[in-house]
């Protein structure tokens, strides 16, 4: 059984906006969500900037008592899920609960509560540890709490594949529906680790931008003067359904998910191989899964982290897979505006890719000012572009050499 799978609902909590409409408008306007860190004292840190979510109140989406017991990454995912379910008009009840599952991705889980608890144990002793510490910390509590709160009783899973986690969650959800295991899935990614430990750790790896005096210009994928990624937070959740199930409900459809590829680099714990081989095989696997040629793709929402190696090697990989067509399609990195949501990136960026197809609009790569060596593709520089987008691809690559690619197609089931 290979059922067609469509996207019927989406929810977003991002550094550039709360909700799909606000976020999409900000992206198309080229608005940056990056600024000075407010979550902790950055005096001793090399990096003092991040893409924080602003004006989020968990109690607007879930009961206040419940919100207090959740770490932020869980609340972000639950809020985005409420939006997505309402957008899809999908009611979960006794008749369908067993056929609707939840799969989300999260790279670092409740790192913030872990930080606080370790300090508490060290300074005040073990009796000061909250009974909610473990449930607040573990990554799988995001899909767990979504399942509990909204009543979905199908497969319940969490991926922890670093920066590819959200895309892997969506890809595996796609396959579950395609193969008939479930009829619908709540899926995506979430992350909330703008914390002293995370920033210090990524600084130690020399992975973060230190352009502290110009936060809005710090994330500059594919630009010659890029100096590292900017850590971001938030959540992107999608409702995927079997086409016939969506038809039966009379649901509106944003786009169709048609391809999924996943590979491993087998190369290095953090750096991709110079020839982008893992990314090459991943994109090709997604094209093969979708049953389309490389020249069918109009737009790629790139992984595009604003790091020296990723942007170069992803560009090389695109040229290898797409050959001459690489210079005809458009490639942009929305991380230039949202920062890098780590395990949440694949969630929000799949939403962005579906919206690109739905609206025939390519969001820009902002801060693209000077061409870098070998980064010579069409990166939709600085200004969004209205153009036909029939088929679009999104890439997510993670530490450990884990890769995921998804392909989205315009809905032709009218």
Residues tagged active-site? 163, 303, 340
Buried b (16+ CB within 10 A) or exposed e, 13-47: bbbbbbbbeebbebbbebbbbbbebebeebeebbb
Q: Which residue has the tokens 């991709």?
A: 272
Distance separating alpha carbons of residues 244 and 276, to the nearest angstrom: 38
The residue with tokens 């940056």 is 32
Answer for the pair 278, 320: CB distance below 8 angstroms, yes or no: no
Contact between 306 and 339 (Cβ < 8 Å): no
d(CA 60, CA 69): 15
Q: How far is CA 73 from CA 362, 375, 398, in A?
A: 28, 34, 19
The Cα 350–Cα 10 span in angstroms is: 10
Distances 130 to 8, 127, 313, 401 between C-alpha atoms, Å:
39, 8, 44, 35
**How many angstroms separate the Cα of 345 from the Cα of each of 22, 218, 335, 376?**
18, 18, 8, 24
SS3 331: strand
Q: What are the tokens at 28?
A: 């198309």
Helix (H, G, I), strand (E, B) or coil at 208: strand
36 vs 42: CA distance, rounded Å: 9
DSSP conformation letters of 101-133: EEEEE-SS-SHHHHHHHHHHHHHH-GGG--TTH
CB atoms within 10 A of CB 216: 17
């Amino acid at each position: 059984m290979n059922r067609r799978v469509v996207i019927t609902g989406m929810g977003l909590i991002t550094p550039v906006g709360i909700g799909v409409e606000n976020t999409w408008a900000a992206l198309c306007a080229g608005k940056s969500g990056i600024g000075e860190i407010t979550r902790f004292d950055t005096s001793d840190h090399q990096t003092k900037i991040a893409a924080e979510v602003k004006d989020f109140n968990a109690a607007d989406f879930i009961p206040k008592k419940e919100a207090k017991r959740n770490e932020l990454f869980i609340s972000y995912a639950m809020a985005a899920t409420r939006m997505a379910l309402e957008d899809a008009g999908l009611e979960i009840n006794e008749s369908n609960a067993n056929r609707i599952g939840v799969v989300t991705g999260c790279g670092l889980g409740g790192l913030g509560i872990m930080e606080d608890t370790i300090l508490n144990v060290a300074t005040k002793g073990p009796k000061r540890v909250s009974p909610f510490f473990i449930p607040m910390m573990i990554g799988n509590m995001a899909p767990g709490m979504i399942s509990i709160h909204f009543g979905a009783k199908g497969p319940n899973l969490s991926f922890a594949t670093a920066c590819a986690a959200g895309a892997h969650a969506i890809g595996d959800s796609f396959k579950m529906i395609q193969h008939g295991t479930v009829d619908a899935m709540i899926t995506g990614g979430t992350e909330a680790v703008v914390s002293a430990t995370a920033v210090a750790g990524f600084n130690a790896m020399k992975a973060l931008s230190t352009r502290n005096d110009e936060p809005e210009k710090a994330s500059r994928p594919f630009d010659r003067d890029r100096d590292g990624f900017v850590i971001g937070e938030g959540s992107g959740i999608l409702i995927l359904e079997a086409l016939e199930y969506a038809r039966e409900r009379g649901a509106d459809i944003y786009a169709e998910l048609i391809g999924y590829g996943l590979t491993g680099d087998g190369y290095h714990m953090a750096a991709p191989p110079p020839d982008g081989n893992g990314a090459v095989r991943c994109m090709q696997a997604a094209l093969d899964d979708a049953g389309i040629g490389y020249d069918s793709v109009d737009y790629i929402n790139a992984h595009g982290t604003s790091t020296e190696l990723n942007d170069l090697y992803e560009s090389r990989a695109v040229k290898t897979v797409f050959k001459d067509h690489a210079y005809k399609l458009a490639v942009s990195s929305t991380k230039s505006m949202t920062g890098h949501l780590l395990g949440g990136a694949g969630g929000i960026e799949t939403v962005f890719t579906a919206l690109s197809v739905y609206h025939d609009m390519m969001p820009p790569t902002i801060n693209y000012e000077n061409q870098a060596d070998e980064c010579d593709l069409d990166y939709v520089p600085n200004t969004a572009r209205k153009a036909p987008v029939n088929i679009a691809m999104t890439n997510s690559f993670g530490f450990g050499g884990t890769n995921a690619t998804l392909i989205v197609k315009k809905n032709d089931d009218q």
